Amino acid sequence: MKTKLLAAAGIIALSSGLASAEGKMPFPVGEGDFNWESFEALKSMQLDGEQVTVFGPWLGPDQELAESVLAYFGEATGADIRYVGSDSFEQQIMVDAEAGSAPNVAVFPQPGLVSDMASRGFIAPLGDETANWVRDNYAAGSSWVDLSTFAGPDGKDDLYGMFFKVDVKSLVWFVPENFEDFGYDVPESMEDLKALTDQMVADGNTPWCIGLGSGGATGWPATDWVEDLMLRTQEPAVYDKWVSNEIPFTDERVVGAIEEFGYFARNDSYVSGGAGSVASTDFRDSPKGLFSSPSQCMMHRQASFIPAFFPEGTEVGLDADFFYFPAYSGKDLGSPVLGAGTLWSITNDSKGARALMEFLKSPIAHELWMAQQGFLTPHKGVNTEIYATDTLRKMGDILLSADTFRFDASDLMPGGVGAGSFWTGMVDYAGGKSAGDAAAEIQKSWDALK
């Protein structure tokens, strides 16, 4: 019964998809500093009247933004392009695939499900040509290829999607006025960040606000810290083996990354409220210490979404700003970035589906969303001046400067670990348990799932 209701809801939404996309091109064709040449090039892919369906996780304003971009694909090619969103996307896409009624293109919030579906033959491979294009045209291109390459039903690896719309997590937030008052410079390396942390203590300031509280998900902010620090202490291949548990949590390199988090979080002088407050402070309340008078802390490491929890009226770029969570200059690991993104895959192959993937390669597809909101891209061919705000442009520059990009590890691990024992293990560690003991408990839970 539930399957039938979900399918019915999909049909209703799909049939209204075109109507909601029509007339939603927010920028007149040919005007502005967009790459209209790449739009004109799309016209060679004539798809007059061919229906191309797209299914994804976005509803509300995000759906409207997606439709506004897809409308240009329809305008250029003549395709009848339709988007449907669902808050049950992960369940419904599998139902549709198994029933043989999948959309032409699906927008996956995480690559894990793509891997599962590719192994069952539910996703069409994109081939070496597209993989080479991504390597050449995306910053940290090999990372994006790695993240979207999976084994097909025959066991052969292939590219099974393209990343389009990315989020950045490797950010440290601060109040510029506070830095100016004390003469602090934005650190350019992890060595500089640790030296700045000590300087702040010497000046009588508290460097960090850290909070792990999140109701039933308490502990997840610490997993982001550990993931970022794994990328700053180990090569990407080690990170990947950790994610798949080829390297156990008890490996000294993983334990070392946990202890790196402890360097910041388990020092009473470094954390607002002392180390004992880290696990009990709600992550949504944690950054507020930046804005108190006097300030309760000087820095807060968190992803690009955190301004939603800043005091009302806070203007990013003026009242608050951010810098890249830096890498060690002495470890020669480049500039890694931790984040997330949506992977667009062909789940019902057609000429129109292939044309849509070509559209995603065009600079115009990225620029049309960049000029609105909530969109970042590693595409090296875009005009970054198109970004709607200086904040987005600055985050986009971090992406374009990355040597390595990796997806949030906990999101790729089995749910019982990534959304379970890893969270609780970090709470235990913040509360005083040794990194080795916390890691052993996490590994024990993973072993129990095998």
- Amino acid occupying residue 354: R
171-191: pLDDT as tens digits? 999 999 999 999 999 999 999
Place of tokens 């931790």: 338
How many Å apart are CA 223 and CA 255, to the nearest integer?
13
Tokens for 165?
A: 């719309």
What average pLDDT does the segment 96-118 reach?
95
Class of domain 32-167+339-400 as given by CATH: alpha beta
239-279: pLDDT as tens digits? 999 999 999 999 999 999 999 999 999 999 999 999 999 99
18-59: pLDDT as tens digits? 333 445 899 999 999 999 999 999 999 999 999 999 999 999
- Give yes or no for residue 341 having a pLDDT over 70: yes
| Contact indicator for 187, 193 with CB cutoff of 8 Å | yes
- Amino acid occupying residue 111: P
How many Å apart are CA 239 and CA 219, to the nearest integer?
20
Confidence of residue 227 (pLDDT cuts 50, 70, 90): very high
User: Considering only 95-104, 106-115, 424-433, which range has the smallest mean pLDDT?
Assistant: 106-115
Percent of the chain whose pLDDT exceeds 90: 93
Q: What is the pLDDT of residue 224?
A: 97
Confidence of residue 232 (pLDDT cuts 50, 70, 90): very high
- Look up the CATH superfamily of 171-335+420-448: Periplasmic binding protein-like II (3.40.190.10)
- Give yes or no for residue 432 having a pLDDT over 80: yes
74-85: pLDDT as tens digits? 999 999 999 999
| Contact indicator for 362, 41 with CB cutoff of 8 Å | yes
- Give yes or no for residue 369 having a pLDDT over 80: yes
Sign of CA dihedral 180, 312, 268, 218: negative
Q: What is the pLDDT of residue 35?
A: 97
Tell me what the pLDDT averaged over the chain comes to.
93
What is each CA distance from 80 to 43, 57, 75, 228, 369, in whole angstroms? 14, 20, 9, 42, 20
121-152: pLDDT as tens digits? 999 999 999 999 999 999 999 999 999 999 99
- Give yes or no for residue 4 having a pLDDT over 80: no
How many Å apart are CA 351 and CA 50, to the nearest integer?
9
Neighbours of 183 (CB within 10 A): 8
| Contact indicator for 325, 398 with CB cutoff of 8 Å | no
How many Å apart are CA 208 and CA 174, to the nearest integer?
10
How many Å apart are CA 307 and CA 212, to the nearest integer?
17
What average pLDDT does the segment 336-345 reach?
96
ω into 294 cis (within 30 of 0)? yes
What average pLDDT does the segment 309-331 reach?
97
How many Å apart are CA 156 and CA 150, to the nearest integer?
8
| Contact indicator for 248, 443 with CB cutoff of 8 Å | yes
| Contact indicator for 163, 147 with CB cutoff of 8 Å | yes
Per-domain boundaries in the chain: 32-167+339-400, 171-335+420-448
Place of tokens 């040597």: 403
How many Å apart are CA 344 and CA 346, to the nearest integer?
7
Three-state secondary structure of 33-46: CCCHHHHHHHCCCC
What is each CA distance from 283 to 138, 215, 306, 431, in whole angstroms? 32, 10, 9, 16
Phi and psi at residue 232, to the nearest 5°: -100, -5
User: What is the DSSP track for 196-240?
Assistant: HHHHHHHTT---B----B-GGGTTHHHHHHHHHHHHHHS-HHHHH
| Contact indicator for 114, 150 with CB cutoff of 8 Å | yes
Look at the chain and count its residues: 450
What average pLDDT does the segment 437-443 reach?
98
Phi and psi at residue 199, to the nearest 5°: -65, -40
Q: What is the pLDDT of residue 450?
A: 82
Confidence of residue 6 (pLDDT cuts 50, 70, 90): very low
Within this chain, domains 32-167+339-400 and 171-335+420-448 share the same CATH topology: yes
387-420: pLDDT as tens digits? 999 999 999 999 999 999 999 999 899 999 999 9
- Amino acid occupying residue 317: G
Tokens for 382?
A: 């875009």
| Contact indicator for 427, 212 with CB cutoff of 8 Å | yes
Q: What is the pLDDT of residue 387?
A: 97
How many Å apart are CA 366 and CA 189, to the nearest integer?
30
* Helix-then-strand count for the chain, H and E: 19, 11
Q: Which helix (H) or strand (E) holds 390?
A: helix 390-400
* Radius of gyration, alpha carbons of the chain: 23
How many Å apart are CA 357 and CA 77, to the nearest integer?
13
